Amino acid sequence: MFSSLGKSVGAFTGDTSFSNITQCTPEIDMGNPKTPFLTITEAEDSLSALNTFFDDCLFGSDTPPGHDQIIGCKSLAQSATESFTHALDLIKPLFLSWSSKMQIFVMSIQINPFGTLEKRRLAVLSLYQTTWAAFLNTDPHNTGFSNSDYERILSKIEQIIALENSQTRPMFAFDGHLVRELSTICASCTDAEIRNRSITILRSMNRREGVWDSWEVANIYEKVFKGLEDGTLSFDDLPWGFTQLLKELHN
């Protein structure tokens, strides 16, 4: 949990030193892709291992001296694009196996008897499945997804919000990903309609996840979009990290 929170703080501040929180993980095995997960928890744990493995591939430190190199951890200084491409190559077959097992699991269960919590957990897994699929289809030299992928991701987020009924009451989560994901969409998408839809969703959430507040994110990106429209800001020059963006707006 603290590792995940550290990554969230890193994305918020634009500081990549958070990556040192996680150590290199051993090579993971998703098992037979034609065998479904047995429970929602098993699917969640498997996805968590997948996410951790990818973070280690992308951000992991050099292998300690005297140890055999673990697949996925950086052993040589590489450019960001090289590291990203290498991480994608390693994670893709693992994700495809996870996605196959998840798809068969969903088809094999009866969702109607599930309570709201279980339905939300399945909806979050579906969001991750959609986001990962979009992520693996990206060009390492580009910063965003296709518009259709953005729209699918936003629809998944809207489904989760509807299950929480968060429009009627403020919500807090120590560790969450919806606000951060919407912030990433605002920061990477150049389509005005999709960005405005993201702002609308942020306004409707009334939600705080760790350091991420949906109203604060919406307020800041509304200013950013106004600056992009009137030419006072350039999309290519926007800094990474939410706090860095705040500093840019105050300059």
Q: How far apart are CA 100 and CA 211, in angstroms?
A: 34
Under the banding of pLDDT at 50, 70 and 90, the label for residue 69 is very low
Q: Answer yes or no: are the C-beta atoms of 201 and 244 closer than 8 Å.
A: no
How many Cβ atoms from other residues are within 10 Å of residue 76's Cβ? 7
Cα–Cα distances in angstroms (integers) from residue 127 to residues 3, 32, 124, 159, in the given order: 21, 22, 5, 9
Residue 195 has pLDDT above 90, yes or no: yes
- Give the mean pLDDT of the chain: 79
The two beta strands, 207-209 and 212-213, are: antiparallel
Tens of pLDDT, residues 114-155: 888 899 999 999 999 999 999 998 876 676 899 999 999 999
Task: Give pLDDT, residue 144.
Answer: 82
First to last CA, the chain: 35
Query: Would you place residue 251 in the very low, low, confident or very high pLDDT band (cuts 50, 70, 90)?
Result: low
- Residue 228's pLDDT band, with cuts at 50, 70 and 90, is confident
The structure's pTM equals 0.79
